[in-house]
Copies of this chain bind each other. A is one copy, B any other.
C-alpha cells in the first residue's frame, strides 16, 4: 500500500511508521516542519498541494493537529476557535480534500485521544476537538460505505511523552508506543469502518 502519514515524525507518527514498516508498504511522511513532504493542515492550499504531489494513495494516517493546553478561566473564544481549527478542522480537511485521491477500498485513520474520555484541567480544546473527530468518523463512515474506510485511534498518554505529561495525569499508566502503533495499523490494514480504536 501507498500510505501517507501526516505528522509522521512526531511522537505518535513515529510509532505509526514503525508499526507499518514491514516492507509491504510505501510510506510517505508529511509534516509542518519535518517529513518527506511539507504540509500545513490548517491551510487548504497546502493540503491540496500535498495530495497533488503524492497522487493516488491507499491510506492516510493523520497524527497531526495543534491544540493548546490552557486554563478555561482565561480562555477566550478566539483561543478556543484556533484550537478547534487546528486539531479538528485540520484533520477533517485531510479527508475532504483527500477523498478524490484515495483509491477505491482505501482508508483514512484520524487521531482522537483519551482527553475526551478522561480530561484533565487545561484540556478543553483537546476534548472539543477529539469529540468532534469521533463524531465525524462515525457519521462520515455511513456515507463512505465500503468505498473508503474511516476510523480514529484514541491514544492514551504515550510512553514517549510520559516524562513531560505523566505528572499531570495521576493514576494513568503510559501506553507503550507499540500498542499505539498497532492501533493505527489496525485502521490501515484492518477491515472495519466508523470505529474509534482505543489505544490505552
Interface residues, chain A, with chain B CB atoms under 8 Å away = 44, 71-73, 75-77, 80-81, 84, 88-89, 92-93, 96-97, 115-117, 119-124, 126-136, 138-140, 142-144
Contacts and interface: CB of A to CB of B under 8 A. Distances in A.
Contacts of A126: 135, 139
Given A119-B142, A120-B142, A133 B136 contact: no
A93 B80 CA distance: 10
Contacts of A122: 143
Contacts of A135: 116, 119, 124, 126-132
Given A73-B143, A144-B72, A88 B132 contact: yes
Query: Sorted from nearest, which 5 A-B pairs have the closest CB atoms?
Result: A131-B135, A127-B135, A131-B131, A127-B139, A119-B139
Given A84-B132, A130-B135, A136-B127, A121 B96 contact: no
Nearest to A137: B127
Q: Indicate the member of A72, A77, A89, A116 with the most B CB atoms within 10 Å.
A: A72
Contact of A134 (B123, B131, B140): B131
A92 B128 contact: yes
Contacts of A89: 77, 80-81, 84
